[in-house]
Amino acid sequence: MKKLLASIVTGFLLFITFPADANVNYRLKIVYQDSPEAKAVTWQLTCNPAGGNHPHPNLACREIRRAVNPFKKPASDEICTKIYGGPQQAVVTGVWAGKKVNRKFTRTDGCEINRWQQLQVTLSGKSK
């Protein structure tokens, strides 16, 4: 009984010692730039639970979960329309679902615009 009680107390102490947003499996750094001349803005985003200094952490976490392969790099032979969507760009690094993330997002063609729109809140910090 003493061992069980000691285990419960130890577990409780660990629970209150580490903050809820310490989940290293869902921790991202997002560097957003509205244009090449604009100053870059950096946010931290944690999920499970949502937190960090991102302007909309709950929306961003939900948006990432809904996206299909949100951080997968495009295939080198991907065919995309030559539509320019704007100068915005974002770099996302960190860990998502236990996997390392290092991905640059732009709006330079139809494929990139589509990927950007899936993660618009996450990348730009602007709610829809």
Domains defined along the chain, listed by start: 21-71+80-124 (3.30.350)
Task: Give yes or no for a cis peptide into 49 (omega within 30° of 0).
Answer: yes
- At residue 15, the pLDDT reads 40
What letter represents residue 53's amino acid? N
The pair of structure tokens assigned to 56 is 């909309």
The pair of structure tokens assigned to 30 is 């997002």
- Residue ranges in the chain assigned as alpha helix (H): 2-17, 57-66, 110-118, 120-124
- pLDDT tens digits, the chain, 128 residues: what are they? 555 444 444 443 334 333 444 578 999 999 999 999 999 999 999 999 999 999 999 999 999 999 989 999 889 899 999 999 999 999 999 999 999 999 999 999 999 999 999 999 999 999 86
Distance separating alpha carbons of residues 54 and 49, to the nearest angstrom: 13
- At residue 7, the pLDDT reads 46
- At residue 52, the pLDDT reads 96
Nearest to 103 by CA among 68, 73, 124, 69: 73
Q: Backbone dihedral region of 38: left (phi > 0), alpha (psi from -120 to 50 degrees) or beta?
A: beta
- The DSSP call for residue 82 is -
Residue 95: CB partners within 8 Å, gap ≥ 6? 24, 25, 26, 27, 28, 101
Distance separating alpha carbons of residues 57 and 122, to the nearest angstrom: 8
Distance separating alpha carbons of residues 96 and 114, to the nearest angstrom: 20
- At residue 1, the pLDDT reads 58
